[in-house]
Amino acid sequence: MKITDLKCTILGENPVIRITTDEGIDGYGQAENSKPYLRPHVLFYKPYILGADPTNVESVMLRIRNMGGFKPWGSAVSAIEMALWDIAGKAAGVPVYKLLGGKVRDTVRVYNGGVRFPMGGHSPQDYADNMVKMKASPEKFSIIKQPVGFHSAMPHQVPDFTFGEVRETRFHSTRGLLTERGLKHVVACVEAMKSVLGDEVGLALDCGPGWMVPDAIRLAKALEHLHIMWLEDLLTGDYTPYVNADVYREATRSSSTPIHTGEQIYLRQNFKELIEKHAVNIIGPDPADIGGLAELKWVAEYADLHGILMAPHGVFDGLIGLAGLVQVCATLPANFIAFEYPIARPDWWYSIIEGLPNPIVENGQIRVWDTPGLGVRFNIEAAKRYLPEGDEDFFD
């Protein structure tokens, strides 16, 4: 079998790739819906993989892996890797999890990062009210993640939240020491959320990046009595092109509140220091950024050897990314907690993808399916209606 083409289109908000072969088997991958600009970057890799056998996934990846980078530039490589596994599974007639070592669980726990309800404001009561809605969501999530601090509107909405400059630009560029008022506000909002969730539902906090080490330590200690699932990306994180393991280690060793990071990190080599130094308690690579499914599994197993837990990111990965997450997380060791549940954007994605369970999530879990490849497929006639101008031949 040989690769004959690599295509990329933007369906709604998601870059979607299709790899075709000379035996009529194709495979699909998907990048995060926040990255429609990736199309030319995906196509850059086309000459490097044409003619290769897609079922030799690692061999193909060795051709392109060194040309990716930290989020967002590992996304194209990651989407290609998922599409290769899709082909390999279809060619063998087995689900991808069989090719990744086989499943160790029949259902995979997810945490709520994607099912959102509008915030009425940013007071503690507003956060409590929002948790009431999330707790009542039909998916019955056992873990809910909520943005606070620099990953939220708090710096803009709470007067004198930080001594640092509050920037209006994207990609979390605000960074600085919190005022006493700012820190107290965060703690009060977390306490209000936990008053709703109690010990029935775990609460994880998406915090930054942007915190300084003293504030990270103060926050972690102040929340110890609340049994928070984790504090995510306090120091570095989304779109940060470095790791800072030594700095994270200082915060992690100062409190019993679990510290989490990793969504932007590309490749196993860049998790090595975090894991070996025990710089965090939990890592959260995104399969759409780390370099794909096999890369995520490798890192999970290495983390398990060091007592580090695993809670993969994935909120923007779409429905094909969701399928990839289910397949790989079914194979992970016992350090796996849950992965972040992505929803489709726009909603019409649910009408063009077939093969997902209905409902997708029950009691906070997704049942692992046994369809070959990633196990999802396009309703091509329905999907064609949403192809952008110039990509009418994407499915041909």
Q: What is the reported pLDDT for 172?
A: 67
Q: Is the pLDDT of residue 171 over 90?
A: no
Q: Is the pLDDT of residue 186 over 80?
A: yes
pLDDT tens for residues 335-344? 999 999 999 9
395 Cβ neighbours under 8 A, 6+ residues apart = 18, 378, 380, 383, 384, 387
Determine the Cα–Cα distance for residues 261 and 312; give it in Å rounded to an integer: 10
pLDDT tens for residues 67-96? 999 999 999 999 999 999 999 999 999 999
DSSP annotation of 232 reads E
Q: What are the two backbone dihedrals, phi and then psi, of residue 187, each rounded to the nearest 5 degrees?
A: -60, -40
Q: Is the pLDDT of residue 218 over 90?
A: yes
Q: Residues 244, 236: contact at Cβ < 8 Å?
A: yes
Q: What is the reported pLDDT for 151?
A: 93
Bridge partner residues of 18 (DSSP): 7, 28
Q: Residues 291, 266: contact at Cβ < 8 Å?
A: yes
Total-model pTM = 0.97
In 283-318, which positions are buried (b, 16+ CB within 10 angstroms) versus exposed (e)?
A: bbbbbbbbbbbbbbbebbebbbeeebbbbbbbbbbb
| Mean pLDDT score, 240-254 | 97
Q: How far is CA 148 from the centre of its chain?
A: 18
Q: Residues 46, 15: contact at Cβ < 8 Å?
A: no
Q: Angle at Cα 326 formed by Cα 100 and Cα 378, nearest 5°? A: 105
Q: Residues 212, 176: contact at Cβ < 8 Å?
A: yes
Domain 98-374: which CATH number of 3.30.9.10, 3.20.20.120, 3.40.50.1100, 2.40.420.20:
3.20.20.120
Identical fold for domains 3-94+379-384 and 98-374, yes or no, is no
Q: What is the pLDDT confidence band of residue 167, given thresholds at 50, 70 and 90? A: confident
Greatest Cα pair distance in the chain: 64
Question: Which residue blocks in the chain are alpha helix, DSSP H?
Answer: 39-44, 46-49, 57-64, 75-92, 96-99, 124-135, 154-157, 180-197, 213-222, 245-252, 272-276, 287-290, 293-305, 318-329, 349-352, 380-384
Instruction: Give the least confident one: 31-45, 156-170, 326-340.
Output: 156-170
Q: Shortest CA distance to 152 belongs to which of 210, 236, 227, 229?
A: 210
Q: What is the reported pLDDT for 268?
A: 98
CB atoms within 10 A of CB 389: 5
Q: Is the pLDDT of residue 187 over 70?
A: yes
**Superfamily for domain range 3-94+379-384:** Enolase-like, N-terminal domain (3.30.390.10)
Look at strands 27-30 and 14-21 and give their pairing: antiparallel
Bridge partner residues of 223 (DSSP): none
| Mean pLDDT score, 135-150 | 97
Determine the Cα–Cα distance for residues 18 and 324; give it in Å rounded to an integer: 15
Q: What is the reported pLDDT for 33?
A: 86
Q: Is the pLDDT of residue 389 over 90?
A: yes
| Mean pLDDT score, 164-193 | 91
pLDDT tens for residues 316-330? 999 999 999 999 999
Could you tell me what percent of the chain has a pLDDT over 70?
99
Q: Please classify residue 92 by burial: count the beta carbons closer than 10 Å to its beta carbon, then call 0-12 exposed, 13-18 middle and 19+ buried.
A: middle
Region label for 364, one of left (φ > 0), alpha (ψ between -120 and 50) or beta (otherwise): left
Q: What is the reported pLDDT for 168?
A: 76
- Residue ranges of domains in the chain: 3-94+379-384, 98-374
Q: What is the pLDDT confidence band of residue 273, given thresholds at 50, 70 and 90? A: very high
For residue 271, what are the CA distances in angstroms to 80, 200, 238, 295? 21, 32, 15, 11
Q: Is the pLDDT of residue 170 over 90?
A: no
